[in-house]
Amino acid sequence: MIDIQTALDNFDIKPVHPGAYSSNSGWSATEGRDAFEATNPADDSAISKVASANADDYEKIMCEAVQAQKEWRMVPAPTRGELVARIGQLVSENMESLAAIVSLDTGKSLMEARGELAEVVDMSIMAAGQSRMLYGFTQQSLRREHRMYDQWLPLGVAGIISAYNFPAAVWAQNGFLAAIAGNTVIWKPSPKVPLTAIAIQMLCNKAMSEMDLPSIFSLFIPSENNLAELLLSDSRIALLSFTGSSSVGYKVAQIVGQDLGRRYMLECSGNNGCIVDETADLELAARSIAFGAVGTTGQRCTSTRRVIVHKSVAEKLTSLLKQAFSQIKIGDPREQDAVVGPLVDRQAVRDYSEAVQQAQALGGTIVCGGKEIDRPGYYVEATLITGLSSNAECVQEETFSPIVYIIEYDSLNEAIEIHNCVAQGLASGIHTTNLYNTELFLSAAGSDCGIAKVNMGTTGADIGAAFGGEKETGGGRTAGSDAWKGYMRRQSVCINWGGKSPWDNRINFD
Ligand code: UN1
């Protein structure tokens, strides 16, 4: 059971907490600000309030971030890694109280909240290690007595705009890499989940003050998303990383893209499909699909939304999925046996119901679920829908809720065509024991997504891999592999150590 007051007190979160922080200015004022409620999706109750950050706060944060970056860029990268490692350690030490805050903000079960925070800790360890490995290649010069290599340098101030579904992990995936890269970080979280951001900022403050550092990490939470446009149009933001819907992603790309030299990194909508062929282990597939579709109440950008199944096994798989879905308890995250919590807010419930109604109007059959759960809070049933064409509007769209459309196919080429016929390109999967089918799915003629999984669900990306996708997902990559390069600028260096120039014989100084 979560004791709300203890959870808030642990992080010194006030009944009306300021919405902006930077090291020199401290927390912003609360008077004269529009205060918005932090709502608990589990029962629709107000937990506390946040005094909206405003444009003046933004300007202070930005000036400090620019100034701090001038120092930070000259701090050796492994020392920058120590800050990130310390923040990870603090998250680990405060795991239970922070998990309570994540759960209060999002409605996630404590199990899922802990899982997200474990990802933050892993990310800090990886980024701290990476800080010692910001490698550039050495190249062979065509010229005699010249040395060439490329080196990676900081960009400047990085803006991170994150979505509500992973209020801690998405910041960590971006912020830790941005910081080890020598950038300072301004975080604009979703106002739907302000408490997690405030609690994390408190931990950052402790780590920064222990190391006597200026505003490396700062926070800006306006109540209105339109104030986020300050970050988009500000030429002092060198890199803007955005996680959220594709419709907002277009706006980010347009505004940031107006200035050449500024960068944006987009991790937008997914409409993730999982192919199940006639050779698949169907029980494994059903478990993986349930985990991918119902986990986090279907509110992951990687959630499984479409199952593309071979005709010969469609009936069997549908029946297994029905059994699997019915065993996952969706309930109040404060209840011991609740694996999955509610949706984030009332609008998310409306979007869910609209998608279900549209599916029915287009001739779809609800195999299980399909209804809102009648209790306080934003609960809906895990839902399976068959009988729709892959072109149906609701199948083409990303509805952030636990709805899965089951579509049948005859040949694997047809399955891949159905799989790729959506605008989004984040995560994908195939369940098969056939080598040819696996390799076709992973070939240039296969999945067009940034992430491809075999015999696994589409969610739960390993932080060691680069995370992101193609098409309307936006092309950005965060987390592992060489994603750190996205937070730095490359410089090709050439050094003439021999003292000779190409025009030695033409230019005479006698
Ligand atoms: C998101 O849902 O916006 O791999 C990103 C996963 C999660 C996704 C986080 N790490 O499913």
**In whole angstroms, what is the distance from residue 403 CA to residue 355 CA?**
9
Residue 395: both structure tokens together: 């199948």
Instruction: Tell me the CA–centroid distance for residue 450 and ligand 1, in Å.
Output: 13
Ligand 1 pocket test target in 190, 242, 272, 302 with most atoms within 8 Å of CB = 302
The vertex-106 CA angle with 250 and 424, nearest 5°, equals 30
Can you tell me which atom of ligand 1 is nearest the CA of 267? 3
Instruction: Tell me the CA–centroid distance for residue 131 and ligand 1, in Å.
Output: 23
Ligand 1 pocket test target in 451, 459, 462, 473 with most atoms within 8 Å of CB = 459
Q: What is the pLDDT of residues 272-309, one digit of tens each?
A: 999 999 999 999 999 999 999 999 999 999 999 999 99
**Region 466-470 average pLDDT:** 98
Can you tell me which atom of ligand 1 is nearest the CA of 243? 3
Can you tell me which atom of ligand 1 is nearest the CA of 302? 11
Instruction: Tell me the CA–centroid distance for residue 170 and ligand 1, in Å.
Output: 8
**In whole angstroms, what is the distance from residue 187 CA to residue 172 CA?**
10
Residue 480 phi, psi (nearest 5): -90, -155
Whether the per-residue pLDDT at 1 is higher than 80: the answer is no
* pLDDT for res 205: 98
State if pTM tops 0.95: yes
**In whole angstroms, what is the distance from residue 198 CA to residue 509 CA?**
66
Q: How confident is residue 224, by pLDDT bands cut at 50, 70 and 90?
A: confident
The vertex-70 CA angle with 67 and 74, nearest 5°, equals 150
* pLDDT for res 334: 83
Ligand 1 surroundings by CB, under 6 angstroms: 163, 165-166, 169-170, 243, 300-302, 459-461
Residue 407 phi, psi (nearest 5): -125, 135
Q: How confident is residue 336, by pLDDT bands cut at 50, 70 and 90?
A: confident
Whether the per-residue pLDDT at 169 is higher than 90: the answer is yes
Helix (H, G, I), strand (E, B) or coil at 151: strand
Query: H or E element: which one contains 148?
Result: strand 146-154
Active site residue 301: yes
Residue 338 phi, psi (nearest 5): -75, 120
Instruction: Tell me the CA–centroid distance for residue 502 and ligand 1, in Å.
Output: 54
* pLDDT for res 344: 97
* pLDDT for res 2: 80
* pLDDT for res 398: 97
**Region 95-121 average pLDDT:** 96
Instruction: Tell me the CA–centroid distance for residue 433 and ligand 1, in Å.
Output: 26
**Region 225-240 average pLDDT:** 95
Q: What is the pLDDT of residues 475-489, one digit of tens each?
A: 999 999 999 999 999
Helix (H, G, I), strand (E, B) or coil at 10: helix
Can you tell me which atom of ligand 1 is nearest the CA of 459? 11
**In whole angstroms, what is the distance from residue 439 CA to residue 446 CA?**
8
Q: What is the pLDDT of residues 79-104, one digit of tens each?
A: 999 999 999 999 999 999 999 999 99
Whether the per-residue pLDDT at 194 is higher than 90: the answer is yes
Name beta bridge partners: 310: 409
Q: How confident is residue 248, by pLDDT bands cut at 50, 70 and 90?
A: very high
Instruction: Tell me the CA–centroid distance for residue 122 and ligand 1, in Å.
Output: 14
Choice among 267, 381, 408, 472 that is catalytic: 267
Task: Identify the CA nearest to 447 among candidates 475, 406, 418.
Answer: 418
Q: What is the pLDDT of residues 128-143, one digit of tens each?
A: 999 999 999 999 999 9
Whether the per-residue pLDDT at 327 is higher than 90: the answer is yes
**Region 214-221 average pLDDT:** 97
Q: How confident is residue 240, by pLDDT bands cut at 50, 70 and 90?
A: very high
Atom 7 of ligand 1, nearest CA residue: 460
* pLDDT for res 510: 85
**In whole angstroms, what is the distance from residue 162 CA to residue 175 CA?**
11
Task: Identify the CA nearest to 320 among candidates 352, 285, 353, 293.
Answer: 285
Ligand 1 pocket test target in 166, 291, 424 with most atoms within 8 Å of CB = 166
Q: What is the pLDDT of residues 445-454, one digit of tens each?
A: 999 999 999 9
Choice among 204, 274, 301, 394 that is catalytic: 301
Residue 151: both structure tokens together: 């080196």
**In whole angstroms, what is the distance from residue 483 CA to residue 490 CA?**
13
Q: How far are the Cα atoms of 65, 131, 337, 466 from residue 475, in angstroms, in the given order?
A: 27, 24, 38, 11
**Region 117-126 average pLDDT:** 98
Instruction: Tell me the CA–centroid distance for residue 327 and ligand 1, in Å.
Output: 23
Q: Confirm if 190 and 347 have CB atoms less than 8 A apart.
A: no
**In whole angstroms, what is the distance from residue 8 CA to residue 97 CA?**
8
* pLDDT for res 250: 98
For 286-349, the DSSP string reads HHHHHHHHHGGGG-STT-EEEEEEEHHHHHHHHHHHHHHHHHS-B--TTSTT-SB---SSHHHH
**In whole angstroms, what is the distance from residue 464 CA to residue 116 CA?**
15
**In whole angstroms, what is the distance from residue 29 CA to residue 60 CA?**
13
> Can you give the three-state secondary structure of 69-118, one letter per residue?
HHHHCCCCHHHHHHHHHHHHHHHHHCHHHHHHHHHHHHCCCHHHHHHHHH
Percentages helix, strand, coil for the chain (3-state, rounded to 5) are: 40, 25, 40
Instruction: Tell me the CA–centroid distance for residue 265 and ligand 1, in Å.
Output: 15
Whether the per-residue pLDDT at 402 is higher than 90: the answer is yes
Atom 5 of ligand 1, nearest CA residue: 301
How would you classify the pairing of strands 138-139 and 146-154?
Answer: antiparallel
Active site residue 116: no
Ligand 1 pocket test target in 245, 467, 478 with most atoms within 8 Å of CB = 467
Can you tell me which atom of ligand 1 is nearest the CA of 461? 4
* pLDDT for res 57: 97
Helix (H, G, I), strand (E, B) or coil at 254: helix
**In whole angstroms, what is the distance from residue 344 CA to residue 377 CA?**
9
* pLDDT for res 335: 84
Atom 6 of ligand 1, nearest CA residue: 460
Q: How far are the Cα atoms of 39, 285, 309, 357, 415 from residue 457, in angstroms, in the given order?
A: 31, 8, 14, 27, 17
Atom 3 of ligand 1, nearest CA residue: 301
Whether the per-residue pLDDT at 208 is higher than 80: the answer is yes
**Region 52-64 average pLDDT:** 98
Mean predicted lDDT score pLDDT of the chain: 97
